Amino acid sequence: MENNPFLNAQEQLRQAASLLEPQYKDKKVFRAVIEKLMTPQNLVQVELLVKMDNGKTQKFKAFRSQHNDARGPHKGGIRYHHNVSVEEVKALSMWMTWKCATTGIPYGGAKGGIIVDPSALSKGELERLSRAYARAITPYIGVWKDVPAPDVNTTGQIMAWMLDEYEKIIGRHEPGVFTGKPLEIGGSLGREEATGKGGVHVLEQLAKKLKLKPATTTVAIQGLGNVGYWFAKLASELGFNVVAVSGSRGGIVLNDMKKGLNLDAVMAHKKKTGSVTGFIGTRSISNAELLELPVDVLVPAALENVITAENAHRIHAKAIVEMANGPVTPEADEILWKKHILSVPDVLSNAGGVTVSYFEWVQNLYGYAWTKQEVFTKLEPLMVDAFNHMWAMHEKKNVHLRLAAYVNAVKRVVDAMILRGR
C-alpha cells in the first residue's frame, strides 16, 4: 500500500469520512457521496504523437484526472516525469480537491501528467509535446471547467505554449485557463515565492502553538528546489535557524547548530559546484540522514513517500511541515502521532502555491494585475485561517493534523455535493 499513492489517498478519505459520518442525519446520502469521492469524476488518457528532431514520430502516454468540481472548476498541475502513472495522477487530483477546500478557494481537484524524461528532449521537441498535450486536453479544460498549472519539470514557458495552442483552437483570448504563466502573458507577481511563503506562514503559526521562539528553533529542509529554497530563505529572514539543507546530490548540516546557515552563500556554493556538499562549517549528510536529525522542525520539500513505516521510528524532530506532496505515508502518520510528533499536512503547508494560482486566475478574469504586496497581503490571512481551523479540529477530535485538515476539507466538499443533489 505504501507505494500506491491512490490507495493511500483513498485510505485517508476513509479515515476522514468515519469521523464525519456522525454529523450527518442521512447516512445513506453521506455514504453515497463518499463513495463518489473515492474515484475521479473524469479520467482522460491519451497517446500523444510527437515528431522528433530526427524526423521520426514518437508516442507519449498522457493523462488528466479530474477528481471533483462540486466547489468550482478543477485545478491542478501538469507534470513531465518518466515515473508518471495513472495511479499517481488520480491520487494527486484527489489531494488537490482537499487542498483547495482546506484554504477555502473555490476549486475542485485535478492533475495531469506525461510519461517522459524532459531532459532527453530538445527545446523544439518539448514545445511540440506540450502543444500536443494542450490539443488533447482542450475539450476538457476552460476558465470555468479546469485550470491547469506547472508541476514537476514544467515551467511558465510550457504554460505559455499550451495557452497559445488552446487559444488557437478556441479562437479567442482566455488567459485564465492556465496559471503559473510568465508575467508578460498574464502571470501573477509573487507566484515564484508563493508556495514557500505560504509554508512559512504555517511554520510561524506552528511555532506559536508549540511555544517555540524563532531564534532558538532549528529547521532542517530536504529539497532545495523552488519550494525548499524560498521556504529556507523566508524562514531565515524571520529569524528561524535553518541548520540543514539537501539537494538531489546530498545534504549538509552545520557543525554548530546554534546559528543558521547563510542561504545566499549556500546557493552560491551550489551554483559553483553543482551540490551543497562541502560548504564551509558543515558536514555532509545523505537525504535519508537529514530526515533523522534532532531538529525542532523537519521540512520534507522534495519527493513523496520519504517518511514511511520503515524510518518513522527514527524521526527526532518535534514537528514536521510537509512542503512536498505526500511525503508521509498513512502508516508513518500513525507512528509519528504515537511519538507525539505533529506533522502539518501538505494539503495545508504547500497550499500557498495553488492559492496564488487562484489569485492569478482572478486577476485574469477581470483583466487587472495586483502588486506583489497585494498578493501577499491576501495570501497570509487565508493560510492563517486554514491553520487555525485545522488546529481547532485537531484539539476537538484529538486526532493528528492531517486527519483534522481532511475532516474540514472533506466536509466542505461533501456539503457542496449534497447541496447540488449529486
pLDDT digits (tens, 9 = 90+) for 132-185: 999 999 999 999 999 999 998 999 999 999 999 999 999 999 999 999 999 999
CB neighbours of 94 closer than 8 A, spacing ≥ 6?
Answer: 6, 9, 10, 13, 37, 40, 67, 68, 109
Whether the predicted pLDDT of 3 surpasses 70: no
**Per-residue CA distances from 265 to 93, 246, 252, 299, 351 (Å):** 37, 14, 13, 20, 28
Q: Could you give the CA distance from residue 257 to residue 412 in angstroms, rounded to a whole number?
A: 42
> Does the pLDDT of residue 90 top 60, yes or no?
yes
Return the pLDDT at 305.
86
Q: How far apart are CA 47 and CA 59, in angstroms?
A: 6
Structural domains of the chain, with CATH: 43-187 (3.40.50.10860), 193-422 (3.40.50.720)
Q: What is the pLDDT of residue 414?
A: 99
CA–CA separation, 15 vs 405, rounded Å?
Answer: 12
12-64 pLDDT tens trace: 999 999 999 999 999 999 999 999 999 999 999 999 999 999 999 999 999 99
pLDDT > 70? residue 336: yes
230, amino acid identity: W
Torsion of CA 133, 139, 143, 145, to 10 degrees: -110
Query: 51 — phi, psi (to 5°)?
Result: -80, 125
Cα(142)–Cα(175) distance, integer angstroms: 10
Quick check: 2 pLDDT over 80?
no
Hey, is 120 helix, strand or coil?
Answer: helix
Query: Do the Cβ atoms of 363 and 369 come closer than 8 Å?
Result: yes
- Region 187-192: mean pLDDT is 96
Question: What pLDDT does 326 receive?
Answer: 85
pLDDT, position 330: 85
Contact (Cβ atoms closer than 8 angstroms) between residue 291 and residue 300: yes
Q: Which of 410, 419, 305, 374 is nearest to 10 (CA)?
A: 410
* Mean pLDDT of the 375-391 span: 97
Name the percent of the chain lying above pLDDT 90.
Answer: 91
Gap between the Cα atoms of 223 and 163, Å rounded: 30
Task: Look at 100-104, 327-331, 375-379 and tell me which has the smallest mean pLDDT.
Answer: 327-331
The partner residues of 47 in beta bridges, in order of sequence, read: 61
Cα–Cα distance between 62 and 418 in angstroms, integer? 32
DSSP state of 202: H
- State yes or no: pLDDT of 1 exceeds 60: no
Average the pLDDT over each of 154-163, 178-187, 300-309, 404-413 and give the range with the smallest value. Answer: 300-309
pLDDT at 4: 83
Q: What is the pLDDT of residue 152?
A: 87
Per the CB < 8 A criterion, the answer to whether 113 and 84 are in contact is yes
Fill in the amino acid letter for 323.
M
Q: In whole angstroms, what is the distance from residue 44 CA to residue 110 CA?
A: 11
Average pLDDT (249-261) is 91
Task: Tell me which DSSP letter residue 341 carries.
Answer: -
CB distance 214 to 207 below 8 Å? yes
- Can you point out the beta strands (E) in 98-163? 108-115, 146-150
Identify whether the C-beta of residue 376 lies closer than 8 Å to the C-beta of residue 199. no
Of the pLDDT bands very low, low, confident and very high (cuts 50, 70, 90), residue 8 is: confident
Give the DSSP H or E segment for 75. Answer: strand 74-81
pLDDT of residue 297: 98
In this model, does residue 5 exceed pLDDT 90? no
Angle at 42 between CA 95 and CA 51, to 5 degrees: 100
Please state, rounded to an integer, the average pLDDT across all residues of the chain: 96
Pairwise CA distance, residues 241 & 220, whole Å:
9
Residues belonging to the active site = 111
